[in-house]
Amino acid sequence: MKRSILGALIVLASFTASAAAQDFKQYRTTTLDALVDEWNRKTSKEGPGYSFSRPEKLKLIVKLGQAPKPCETDPLRLVLRTMGFEKVLEQVKVSQCIGLVSDGGRAMPAYVQDVLVDGLNADAKVGRSIEAYVDFLAFEVNADRSRNRAILMLNRFEPL
């Protein structure tokens, strides 16, 4: 019995370590403005709703426009459920958002994994630049095109 518990603990520890170790070299570097401009072009003939593509890992240099605060996560849940990733939020807790601001002044929220909140509050300062490693999951198209936004989930950040 002790041996099977020990074996289960070893498997659990190795799974947790491998799940936590992400390869951030796989992230494509772009700007928030370029991302939104690209998707505004792609969705120019679409009506209001969500536009999907394959999820993409992106590295963005942005300013922190708003510190983490509790936010409505229903849009994130809807997107993940639609994509068949509903189990993600059982594994990763997300209850807060930050505000990102591009070099061009475009402001956009991003969902934050709760495990990152303390570090953001300690190390990232509102108005200062951060390197944001995000999952781009979908693009929300609105009747007022100026309100279109990317659905982003922050996985890692580095203050600059």
pLDDT tens column, 88-111: 888 999 999 999 999 999 999 999
Asked if residue 80 belongs to a domain, the reply is yes
- Has residue 10 got a pLDDT over 70? no
Please give the distance of CA 105 from its chain centroid, rounded to a whole number: 19
pLDDT at 124: 96
pLDDT at 20: 46
Asked if residue 144 belongs to a domain, the reply is yes
- Which residues constitute the domain of residue 108? 23-159
Number of domains the chain contains? 1
Q: What is the signed CA dihedral for 135, 141, 147, 153, rounded to 10 degrees? A: -10
pLDDT at 89: 85
Q: What is the CATH number of the domain that holds 106?
A: 2.40.50.140
Asked if residue 94 belongs to a domain, the reply is yes
Asked if residue 107 belongs to a domain, the reply is yes
Asked if residue 125 belongs to a domain, the reply is yes
Take residue 33 and report the two structure tokens written for it: 């403005």
Asked if residue 59 belongs to a domain, the reply is yes
- Has residue 8 got a pLDDT over 70? no
pLDDT tens column, 15-57: 333 334 456 778 999 999 999 999 999 999 999 999 988 899 9
Task: Name the pTM for this structure.
Answer: 0.82
